[in-house]
A and B are shown apart, each in its own frame.
Chain A
């Protein structure tokens, strides 16, 4: 089994930069994805292949992945970005998710 570890919560002021980390053994050798989930809604893909944004995702969302840590960065965070964020990677043909990080914009 492969474990991905995220901080339970991150707080950021509006307009500032939020960084959410995801740690896993040699995660940098894999491809990381990130999903945003708002209350009562399904997850939405915001970053794939470590640093690519799907169409419709604002440019303020970016990603990186190196060593044992993948990072989701939200520049100029807005109130609408308040949500749970999950990292995800594949290992041995199985998908694994991090435990999620609640981003609070205050």
Chain B
């Protein structure tokens, strides 16, 4: 059974970088056929997909257009973890952040499971 355990600070100052970690058990971050994603949820924006990292002989990323200029998602195979970095945060980035595994094939992909979520507040 795959489990995702998130960690990171719950408070970030405006203009600084939000950094979160997702530790994987029960699967490998470099598995073929899956991807590792970050999603956030806020009352104003609902559920918003941020991006993914995945390994297909080499590492690839996809990012949401809304955050593409300031996001980075990468992985550490030795620790079986993947990470979210979101730069130049503003109060609008305040949200519960989730990590998730994406599996499927072709255009059919789904998020399962999800991490426990971390509320990140952007405030001075």
Contacts and interface: CB of A to CB of B under 8 A. Distances in A.
A31 B107 contact: yes
Among A35, A97, A100, max chain B CB count under 10 A is at: A97
A66 to B, nearest CB: 16
A48 to B, nearest CB: 4
B11 interface: no
Interface residues of B, number: 22
Interface string A58-91: 0000000000000000000000000000101010
Contact of B110 (A49, A93, A97): A49
B92 interface: no
A97 B104 contact: no
Binding site secondary structure of chain B: strand
Interface string B60-101: 001011000000000000000000000000000000001000
B107 A44 contact: no
Contacts, number: 59
Contact of A94 (B49, B104, B107): B49
Contact of B111 (A43, A93, A100): A43
B62 A93 contact: yes
B4 to A, nearest CB: 9
B36 to A, nearest CB: 13
A86 B47 contact: yes
Q: How many A residues are at the interface, by size bracket? A: 20 to 34
A31 B108 contact: yes
B64 A94 contact: yes
B26 interface: no
A15 interface: no
Among B62, B108, B115, max chain A CB count under 10 A is at: B108
A36 to B, nearest CB: 11
Contact of A33 (B39, B62, B98, B111): B111
Interface in B22-65: 37, 39, 46-49, 62, 64-65
5 contacts: A42-B98, A43-B114, A44-B113, A48-B110, A97-B48
Interface of A: 1, 30-31, 33, 35, 42-45, 48-49, 54, 86, 88, 90, 93-100
